[in-house]
Each structure stands twice: as C-alpha cells, then as structure tokens.
Amino acid sequence: MPFVSVRITRDGVTAEQKAQVIAEITETLERVLNKRPDLTHIVIEEVDTDNWGYAGITTTEYRRQLAERGQS
C-alpha cells in the first residue's frame, strides 16, 4: 500500500490542481511500480508561508524581499 505525502505552500493552489497531482502521482506509481490505484494513498498538506522557511527566513519574508527587488 503506497502512501505519498506532498507538502506545498498554501497560496492559491486550486482543488482541481490538487486533484490532478493526486491522479498523476497515482498513475506514476501504477505505471512504474505496478502499484494498485485502489491501494494508493496520497495526502497533500498545505503549509502557510509563515510556517515554511529556508535560508534563515520565512517564505513570506523571502517573497516580500523578491517583490521589493522587482523579481516576483
């Protein structure tokens, strides 16, 4: 029974896009590893950008800095 956890930032991802991700991951596991779709579990966790960080700052702050530099 495959279990796949996908973490993304919560910022405008639609229900349709998440459904497509679930479908395509399931199809990949079936095609590549011969895993049964009815036994495949996909979980998408959305994380607020204030709770996701790298390079010592939150994603919210990183994006703010990019916008200030005109690189968004």
Let me know: does 50 contact 58? Beta carbons within 8 Å: yes
Pairing outcome for strands 57-58 and 3-9: unpaired
Residue in 1, 2, 49, 51 annotated catalytic: 2
Let me know: does 2 contact 33? Beta carbons within 8 Å: yes
Let me know: does 41 contact 2? Beta carbons within 8 Å: yes
H/E element, 55: none
Catalytic residue at 2?
yes
Catalytic machinery residues: 2
